């Protein structure tokens, strides 16, 4: 838990530092494509993968509809992965400097070998513009799946790299 808190602090400080860099005014990003890695302390190995597509539905409110795919390793020997496929809504709740912060919430299907069930996730995600249309998305999420072999709520800290237009 201390490691999770330390990583969260580093991500927040990084976002605050990057938010101080001047950036030209740009139109809101309509489509976002992103993928990345996450740390999942409940998994074995503890590295997970995430893919995301989001589409702006309301510029005035900062609301995005999105789809997300998580690949969460459950065991090393034999190697098993719990795959979560979800759809949801991400709502911008605040902007710190030039960095918008979103609360994404999704629900969908979870799959692990022969088991199929439900999954949901929520958390917080920052959208940091790097250059032109490229962005970095540090995030902290909680994932719950009905087929995660009783692992319960899984906190995930990660970073997605993406492109938006």
For residue 123, what are the contacts with CB-CB under 8 A and spacing of at least 6? 103, 104, 139, 140, 141, 142, 156
Supply the pTM of this predicted model.
0.78
pLDDT of residue 151: 62
Q: Are 112 and 80 within 8 A, CB to CB? A: yes
| Cα(11)–Cα(160) distance, integer angstroms | 12
pLDDT of residue 20: 46
Domains of the chain: 2-22+31-164 (2.40.160.20)
14 vs 86, higher pLDDT: 86
pLDDT of residue 17: 43
7 vs 155, higher pLDDT: 155
pLDDT of residue 81: 86
Looking at every residue in the chain, the average pLDDT score rounds to 83
pLDDT of residue 149: 62
Q: Are 99 and 127 within 8 A, CB to CB? A: yes
| Cα(51)–Cα(87) distance, integer angstroms | 12
Tens digits of per-residue pLDDT, 23-82?
444 456 899 999 999 998 877 788 999 999 999 998 888 999 999 999 988 778 888 888
């Amino acid at each position: 838990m201390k490691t999770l808190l330390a990583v969260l602090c580093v991500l927040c400080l990084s976002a605050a530092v990057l938010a101080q860099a001047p950036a030209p005014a740009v139109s809101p990003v309509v489509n976002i494509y992103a993928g990345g890695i996450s740390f999942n302390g409940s998994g074995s190995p503890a590295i997970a993968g995430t893919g995301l597509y989001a589409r702006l539905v309301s510029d005035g409110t900062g609301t995005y509809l999105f789809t997300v795919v998580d690949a969460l390793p459950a065991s090393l020997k034999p190697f098993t992965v719990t795959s979560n496929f979800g759809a949801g809504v991400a709502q911008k709740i605040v902007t710190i400097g030039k960095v918008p912060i979103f609360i994404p919430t999704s629900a969908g299907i979870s799959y692990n070998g022969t088991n199929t069930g439900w999954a949901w996730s929520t958390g917080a995600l920052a959208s940091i513009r790097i250059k032109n249309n490229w962005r970095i998305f540090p995030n902290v999420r909680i994932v719950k799946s009905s087929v995660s072999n009783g692992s319960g709520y899984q906190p995930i800290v990660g970073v997605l790299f993406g492109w938006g237009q």
